[in-house]
Structure 1
């Protein structure tokens, strides 16, 4: 009997093949790579590579009380903290002023108003970068906390390879509830993509929770000028501009080199956050959009093809089962490796459901951006 598959089954097979290609070329080499997790102090070299840690804060007094003690106790030979108070109405400015009185390496920048039609956070960061004393810049958000006092040292060592940008990872803290699990899974998947692509020499984004670049790189891209009116993109679009100019990126994934923040606690908050981040995607280079889009499309079509295969007369159960076994085992192996490499523990037994839920949500988010474009302003 001649071998025959329906168009839907062939689509399933094609989707699985595409995902296998991504896993073999990008994800598995990244997940299986062994990297040094500890660093010995090197005061001489650290003094030659002073770092300005830049933090923009708006109404974040409580968060800064968690963050600043960890920043100020970083084990690094020479660094400063540039703290930007962006139009705060709480005690942020008072707390920041107190810090400057006791710590000479804390510098305060105050933003009283943002010019019309400029993205507030990008404007605030630009002012902070302009006053930064040192040529190496390390960024995190006010609601993040480094996982160790070695964070700065690990991230700064990324520049030793001659890189202009250093891409770090910023997981969310584990908490009860399905939303937290979905947010943490999405963060793992996003980290797996942008970090594995970067290790293949194809960097396309970073996250502002844990990102470093040279001041020279910021000046070469003219700062945020190409997207200063767009609310999102102070991290990924700057990386896009830098890579376009030939700047090189290094990847740092050590457990001590991460920053942790609290995940959104409501579905509405997460939805608006994702819409804001995804809105920057249309400014990515075509090659990056094609690479990311092909992966997302292959995953999304896999689930749609599965539904189609179940409703047609006489489903081809052997093809469907085979595609699911291969795809599920590939995905679990990929996520397990990424979880180990990024030190971001995930509930492996729940990953298939989280994977399906994420790509369904991604479809809805994409549709909402096409139909309604109004990303929230940075608060």
Structure 2
């Protein structure tokens, strides 16, 4: 009887089941073990090396007034240098930096007057900042971020002792009212779950410049940003790609004390432009990484596409409902556990809705990048 029932299912149901099994694999091998791993040990003073924290800013005085004091108050047992790279700002960034340098001997300013034609402004500015930094271990964040705690430097720098040449951290977005904020945070959680858990499994492919660290030796081994210096995006993920190709060891530091916190996009258009810029670098990833990410994204998109088609087939409603219940339980359990582990909670009841909206939004972004590739930078 059971075999007859199974044979009566349409090929679309079997395809839908295959997509769920693919997603189950990612949850069981990457996401759930990463979310339930033991807490990372607290950093100790023993073995702490001097570090330089680099921040690149273009007309971000208000953000710098919030960020720099927090960086200067970081607790770190070894020498800590803060390097501000003023990238062609025409506000009062220079004057503010000069005031700080009078009171904090460990604060330094690197000023960029112009960017050579054809080069990415941020990558050019970061290159000059890295050359000016005094220490070989370099930590990076963005001007519109803040460290979650005054232990951020300690935790992120401790990743070098695993040992590692690069350290990947997690950067969350602030909680605000509205559906867009929840969707932005869901996308951030899902992206973080992928690049952190993949790296934890020995398959690193990207990081985020809001919370990233690497050694000067790694930067030198990749010849800096040379392979993608003309691309506006990729100062973080494409550098990780190049570094891994050169044999760099990558560590993950994902304790809440090591997070950074950013202000999310306040409009759909702002988030659209931001995500277009971030996703544009993906075409330069290694084939294995594109396949690994593509299988996960593609299985989710295919699940929804097949489900829509099956809504018009009354004979398949029962197995369709069963697979939807199973997948919804899988999504809620896995993403809730990840959000707790990364201290980035989202309403459990809203997770299935966010999942649907996100993957259709992702499809629209992919089509947009295929049809219209022009990008803008500040």
Task: Please indicate the TM-score interval, normalised by the length of the shorter structure.
Answer: over 0.9
The CA RMSD measured in Å over matched residues stands at 1.0
Matched residues in 2 for 1:11 and 1:245: separation?
39
Deviations 1:336-366 (A, max 9, x none): 1111111111111101000000000000000
Q: How many matched pairs?
A: 373
CA drift at 1:4:
2.0
Matched residues in 1 for 2:211 and 2:315: separation?
48
Matched residues in 2 for 1:337 and 1:205: separation?
22
1:21 aligns with 2:25: yes
CA drift at 1:36:
3.2
Deviations 1:120-139 (A, max 9, x none): 00011000000111010000
Deviations 1:144-166 (A, max 9, x none): 00011100000010011111100
Query: Which residue number in structure 1 is paired with residue 288 of structure 2?
Result: 287
1:188 aligns with 2:192: no
Query: Which residue number in structure 1 is paired with residue 276 of structure 2?
Result: 275
Where do 1:90-109 residues align within 5 Å? 90-109=91-110
Query: Which residue number in structure 2 is paired with residue 335 of structure 1?
Result: 335
Query: Which residue number in structure 2 is paired with residue 256 of structure 1?
Result: 257
SS in 2 for 1:145: strand
Contact 1:37 1:254 in 2 (8 A): no
Matched residues in 2 for 1:315 and 1:343: separation?
43
Unaligned runs of 5+ residues in structure 2 are none
Deviations 1:283-325 (A, max 9, x none): 000000000000000000101111000013x241221012111
Deviations 1:18-46 (A, max 9, x none): 00011111111001112136444x1x522
2:38 pairs, out of 30, 34, 45, with 34
1:224 aligns with 2:225: yes
Matched residues in 2 for 1:271 and 1:315: separation?
39
Deviations 1:51-89 (A, max 9, x none): 000000111111011101110011112110110000111
Contact 1:208 1:235 in 2 (8 A): yes
Q: 1:38 to 1:45 in 2, by over 3 A?
A: closer
Unaligned runs of 5+ residues in structure 1 are none
1:344 aligns with 2:348: no
Matched residues in 2 for 1:372 and 1:315: separation?
41
Contact 1:37 1:256 in 2 (8 A): no
Matched residues in 2 for 1:278 and 1:291: separation?
15
1:241 aligns with 2:248: no
Matched residues in 2 for 1:193 and 1:57: separation?
28
Query: Which residue number in structure 1 is paired with residue 301 of structure 2?
Result: 300
Contact 1:109 1:128 in 2 (8 A): yes
CA drift at 1:8:
1.4
SS in 2 for 1:319: helix
Matched residues in 1 for 2:66 and 2:37: separation?
33
Deviations 1:200-223 (A, max 9, x none): 000000000000001100000000
Contact 1:64 1:143 in 2 (8 A): yes
User: Normalising to structure 2: TM-score of the pair?
Assistant: 0.97
